[in-house]
Amino acid sequence: MENSPASTGLQHHVRSISLPSWLNPQSVKVEAELSKLKAWERSLVSTLPLSAETIRAGLVGLVDLYNSVQDLILSPVTQKALLQYQNGILVEETLVGSLRLLDSCSAARDLLLMMKEQVQDLQSALRRKGGDLSIGSSIDVYMSCKKKAKKAVAKCLRELRQMDKKFGPSPLFDVNQHLSMVIRVLREVNSITISVLRSLLLFLAVPVSSTRLGGRSLISKLVLTGPVASERGHEVFNEVGSVDITMKSLNGGIRRNNEQIDVQMARRSLQALDACMEGLEGGLDCLFRHLIRNRVSLLNISAH
């Protein structure tokens, strides 16, 4: 999308200004929620591989953050400041960013549901066929789905990175303290939302069996500046990776007529991943609703 006069708002860099709570009562909670999520983001380096529990904690934190941001946006002093600054440019740019975040959240949910469906199909196939040779076709379908998901994730990651750059820092002049705080908060909320969505996408797509974080896969190239990149050389092993390994091992054992194949282990790994995806789906749905509510509030402001 071409740059326009409306692309100057959230790009502004604002120094962190600590204001008394009696001046900005809504900002106190926003700052607290942002602080929690920044700590979560820093912890990603030491909690690799990314687990479903870690990602879900990020989603829950985002929902709490958007609840607080909603209160800040609905504040009369905030609405007045947003509308008066350069004829509402900040509102317009925030609306553009909110639409992109909604698109990214929707794309992540579609990927999650696609993988969840394949996991449940595999569970059904294992119940019907056990370790029969015909189960191999179901495993092949799952692996094919994972390859498609990996390409879709790479596309989403590119879009998130472009969004992060677009709303990067640039000078800001002639604004009061409250507006400075609002601009900084909106920029940081945008950035931390991108970080959580990026972590979710990586959780879904990076297979344990064939990708190392130090490798040069399409996905790893896209996130070398993120928290994941600092653990190069470590194999990714989470609920998704566990299913990858188990399915490949099961498929190989069946094809070799290996009597030692462990169908129960495959069932357990699939059950665990299915449960994880259920929780992530709930977190994404809740985030999506809050993103919509946030956007509606901004649209109402711009209509005045």
Average pLDDT for the chain: 79
In DSSP notation, 9-58 reads STT---------TTT-HHHHHHHHHHHHHHHHHHHTTTTPSPPHHHHHHH
Instruction: State how many domains the chain has.
Output: 1
Region of 303 on the Ramachandran plot (φ > 0 left; ψ -120 to 50 alpha; else beta):
alpha
Q: Kindly state whether residue 1 falls inside one of the protein's structural domains.
A: no
Q: Kindly state whether residue 18 falls inside one of the protein's structural domains.
A: no
Q: Which residues constitute the domain of residue 272? A: 25-35+50-205+238-303
User: Is it the case that residue 193 has pLDDT exceeding 90?
Assistant: yes
At residue 282 the predicted structure's pLDDT band, cuts being 50, 70 and 90, is: very high
Q: Kindly state whether residue 279 falls inside one of the protein's structural domains.
A: yes
User: Is it the case that residue 135 has pLDDT exceeding 50?
Assistant: yes
Res 170: pLDDT: 55
Mean pLDDT computed over 152-157:
92
Q: Kindly state whether residue 218 falls inside one of the protein's structural domains.
A: no
User: Is it the case that residue 74 has pLDDT exceeding 60?
Assistant: yes
Cα distances from 134 to residues 121, 139, 246, in angstroms, run 14, 9, 17
User: Is it the case that residue 2 has pLDDT exceeding 70?
Assistant: no
User: Any idea which of 100-104, 246-250, 282-286 has the lowest mean pLDDT?
Assistant: 246-250
Mean pLDDT computed over 237-258:
79
Task: Give the phi and the psi of residue 132 in degrees, each rounded to 5.
Answer: -65, 150
175: which DSSP letter? Answer: -
Summarised one tens digit per residue, pLDDT across range 4-57 is 433 334 444 333 434 444 356 778 899 999 999 999 999 987 777 788 999 999
Q: Kindly state whether residue 233 falls inside one of the protein's structural domains.
A: no
Res 133: pLDDT: 66
